[in-house]
Structure 1
Amino acid sequence: MRALIFDFDGTILDTETPEFHTWENIYHQWGQILPRELWLSAIGLAPGEATFNPYTHLEVLLGTTVDHAALREHRREVFLTALHAEPIRPGVVDWLELAGKRGLHIGLASSSPRDWVQSHLERLGLRAHFEAIYTSDDVVRAKPHPELYEKTAAHFGLHPRECIAIEDSHHGVLAAKAAGCYCIAVPNPMTATMDLSAADQTVASLAELSLETLLG
């Protein structure tokens, strides 16, 4: 194994739990319930590929339109406040630092837009660890299609089978395995109930798995 390729949302930073809770509270304010299974169906997909849209779904439940701009601004303020209180997920920094010492390439493959990913990596002080970042802006098809992993591996001159992918979601695991990567699933509170059986290993956090042991 010559490279690590990380997913971002839910893997490096748990963006998924606070976003769901933000929307869940919005639905409650309108007297509605946000079905968890609908939300899970969109995790790991690019924004334009998810079939579930909370704005339009809420309107269907209400039987009327809502002010998207006002709702979007309110949601963004509440969500970002919660998100900025989230720590980097356990074990991530240790893995990044050890991988760097071992001379492994470190990449990132995310179905989110580049601006979103890079802004948070910089905010968290992690940007310098990553030699290559590929996002939904760089591919025709995001996860579960393998293109993101294929492009990240190719950036290093490697085949995906020489790379370890770290993922948190069903769609992400499918993308990594379709590319040929060795995949470690590290679910967060939102994705813990997903089918991650296609992964080679599943752990509660990277802090539970030694990179040295894995490489050995």
Structure 2
Amino acid sequence: MIESPVPFPKAVLFDFDGVLVDTEWAIYQSWERVFRAHGHALPLDCFNQCLGSGYTHWNPADHLESLTGKTYDWETINAERQKRIHADLAHSGLMTGALELLNWCRKQALPLAVASSSSHRWVDGWLEKLGIRDRFVSVLCRDDGLPVKPDPALYVESARRLSLPPADCLVIEDSENGTTAAHRAGIPVIAVPNRITECANFELATCRVSSLHKVLELLQHSPLAR
């Protein structure tokens, strides 16, 4: 039997982008095209600074202006980026292994929540589109008025809404900012990097695995799993 490195949780808290849906590649590509059009590269290790934080702690737009010494019509540029992002994601579904993990958690009667630095319009729109909004007891986003990751507030409040101590929950994350937020909240966190975040630093994670299938495997082998 494989011994799970995380205790069996009383609830599971999910990040959204890059964990439940592979949105981050399309978002990165939209920015990479903008940078390339203005003669600059956007390395993944640089872009990772904003993942999980909603551009609060590092903004690609500010970075490009610092590189070029110019200002840009971001309202027009961002409107075009959003069109490309939505087109690129038009046929996207859940991340591989996500549905199996959600179904297993439901069989275990584990309450679920989403804590995201993205907007409710974005997150709730996806959850409704994918038919999984009713799986989550709580969905917290940046427009709920809490500091975004790496601040722990979103995760602390998610645990409070579930009437659980943070240490009794488990976070599933894909970004360094999100992993830091969970760690600061005192919640065990499994990092599941994707093609955007695989270069990030996950030293604060309880453990790092390669997929949501691996997360499910760890939970299934936890001593209290039914």
Please confirm whether the aligned pair reaches a TM-score higher than 0.5, indicating the same fold.
yes
List runs of 5+ in structure 2 lacking aligned partners: 1-8
Corresponding residue of 1:36: 44
Query: Is structure 2 residue 92 aligned with structure 1 residue 86?
Result: yes
Structure 1 residue 26 displacement after superposition: 2.4
Q: Secondary structure at the match of 2:49?
A: helix
Q: What is the aligned residue count?
A: 214
> Any conservation in 2 of the 1:4–1:165 contact (CA below 8 Å)?
yes
Counterpart selection for 1:200 from 178, 198, 206: 206
Distance 2:66 2:181 in 1: 32
Corresponding residue of 1:50: 57
Deviation digits for residues 176-213 of structure 1 (CA, Å, limit 9, x no counterpart):
11112121111111110101121112111111232322
Corresponding residue of 2:171: 165
Structure 1 residue 139 displacement after superposition: 4.0
Return 67-76 or 87-96, whichever deviates more.
67-76
Distance 2:69 2:183 in 1: 41
Q: Secondary structure at the match of 1:108?
A: strand
Counterpart selection for 1:20 from 28, 32, 36: 28
What do you get for the CA RMSD once the two structures are aligned?
1.7
Counterpart selection for 2:134 from 110, 124, 128: 128
> Any conservation in 1 of the 2:14–2:114 contact (CA below 8 Å)?
yes
Deviation digits for residues 65-99 of structure 1 (CA, Å, limit 9, x no counterpart):
33323212221111111122333111111111111
Distance 2:67 2:187 in 1: 41
Corresponding residue of 1:97: 103
Distance 2:185 2:67 in 1: 39
Counterpart selection for 1:178 from 172, 177, 184: 184
TM-score (norm 2): 0.87
Identity %: 35
Query: Is structure 2 residue 73 aligned with structure 1 residue 67?
Result: yes
Corresponding residue of 2:3: none
Query: Is structure 2 residue 112 aligned with structure 1 residue 106?
Result: yes
Distance 1:56 1:202 in 2: 31
Q: Secondary structure at the match of 2:48?
A: helix
> Any conservation in 2 of the 1:91–1:205 contact (CA below 8 Å)?
yes
Deviation digits for residues 102-159 of structure 1 (CA, Å, limit 9, x no counterpart):
1111111111122211011111222111111111122432211111111111111100
Distance 2:36 2:152 in 1: 37
